[in-house]
Amino acid sequence: METAVRGRVDYLPTLEAMRAFTATRTDSTADELWLCEHPPVFTQGLAGRPEHVLDAGAIPVVATERGGQVTYHGPGQVVAYPLLDLRRAGYYVKEYVYRIEEAVIRTLAYFGVTGHRVAGAPGIYVRLDDPFGHAVLARTPGIAGSTRTPRIPDDRPATANDPFAGLGKIAALGIKVSRHCTYHGVALNVAMDLEPFGRIHPCGYAGLETVDLSTIGVSTPWNEAAQVLGQKLGSLLAP
């Protein structure tokens, strides 16, 4: 997989370039990984509902064909776009998502942070009270399994049964697969202005807190975070 650090680039031209790359690639086209940072933009997935955008203000809202709901991209965030031929890689979409999330978890571990999955809510989360601790997430009462499955509506009250209670989302994931080839990807929050996340229901969940590495006490430049995430993705997405 060839890694290209594209740096600060506008979102729409990048989206159009991903679409063009995917539409014109052949069985012999090498996989690529683009590492980007975007000016402020809200992006809606295929399942996105307009009511999840509370107040976009001057920030543009772009409809896309990726999975998921609304999220925000902005300066201080590493956005990674793996352009991968899954058939050649030899695994399916579910494992692809798992590998991307694992790359984020290992990137966070590099910085001493413990990342967590929440079943049914793609992306990676951290414990707000102890982002560096290694305790597993407690089970939600009434829900089987070792991870917490969100089944609370958007207007849910804050209760002890909230699967996101005590958690902050640090990485969002949304993908698209066309002709067994992937585009879109994952966004890791490094050192951002987090205020725009308050203008939306992040990933469709009202009141979901969003954090970045700087919020939880990790100071690292964008280039270092991009390099580490790129290395982890390159290793874990290999056939």
Active centre residues (catalytic): 203
Specify the 3-state DSSP secondary structure of 42.
strand
**Partners of residue 34 on adjacent β-strands:** 4, 81
C-beta separation of 35 from 229 below 8 A: yes
Per DSSP (E only), the strands in 38-113 are 41-44, 61-63, 71-73, 77-83
Q: Using CA atoms of 138, 142, 144, 146 in order, give the dihedral in degrees to the nearest 10.
A: 0
User: Helices 93-110 and 222-236: crossing angle, nearest 10°?
Assistant: 140
Is the dihedral angle over the CA atoms 117, 102, 70, 187 positive or is it negative?
positive
Specify the 3-state DSSP secondary structure of 121.
strand
Per DSSP (E only), the strands in the chain are 2-8, 32-37, 41-44, 61-63, 71-73, 77-83, 116-118, 121-127, 167-178, 181-189
C-beta separation of 226 from 35 below 8 A: yes
